[in-house]
Amino acid sequence: MNDAVKLSCTTCGQMNRVPVAKLAEGPKCGACGDPLADGKVAELDARCHDKATRGDEVPLLVDYWAPWCGPCRMMAPEFAKAAQALKGRARLVKLNTEDHPDIAGRARIQGIPALVLYRGGRELARLAGARPAAEIVAFVQGHVSARV
């Protein structure tokens, strides 16, 4: 059984190995010192999106959104609550599809908000539309095993 997982830094993109037992303690990136799993929603750029979706071994839920999208803005506080509730078990991040339409195309995003759950380079599941925090948490828990 592996006692460490790979997590990419959402700020600099550096891949880090983190002991599973330390995930809930707010580990920091070895390169830039920014938090890796602090229960807050991080905004991704293209490079960090690609590294995280391909390499993270902890479940990663990406909210594909745009600033002009009313439901996206309404869901943002609920997404933040879900991120806090899942701290240490999953990371929740956002990607602005207006700034990164090429990534939205590669990810086959047809409408927003769209939530896509990744782990270990694989897409596990999708959820369309704005959702309350409890549904987001249940969605993640329903698609990943209890073990990180």
For strands 60-65 and 91-96, give the pairing. Answer: parallel
Residue 22, domain member (yes or no): no
CATH number of domain containing 110 = 3.40.30.10
- pLDDT on residue 1: 43
Residue 109, domain member (yes or no): yes
Please give the helix or strand (H or E) that residue 101 lies within, else none.
helix 101-106
Residue 28, domain member (yes or no): no
Residue 92, domain member (yes or no): yes
Catalytic pick from 9, 29, 48, 72?
72
* Phi, psi for residue 91 in degrees, rounded to 5: -115, 140
Quote the domain boundaries for residue 44.
39-143
pTM: 0.93
Token pair belonging to 45:
């750029």
Tell me whether residue 29 is one of the annotated catalytic residues: no
Tell me whether residue 12 is one of the annotated catalytic residues: no
Number of domains in the chain: 1
CB atoms within 10 A of CB 144: 19
Q: Spell out the per-residue pLDDT of the chain, length 148, in tens.
A: 468 999 999 999 999 999 988 888 889 999 999 999 899 999 999 999 999 999 999 999 999 999 999 999 999 999 999 999 999 899 999 999 999 999 999 999 999 999 999 999 999 999 999 999 999 999 999 998 644 4
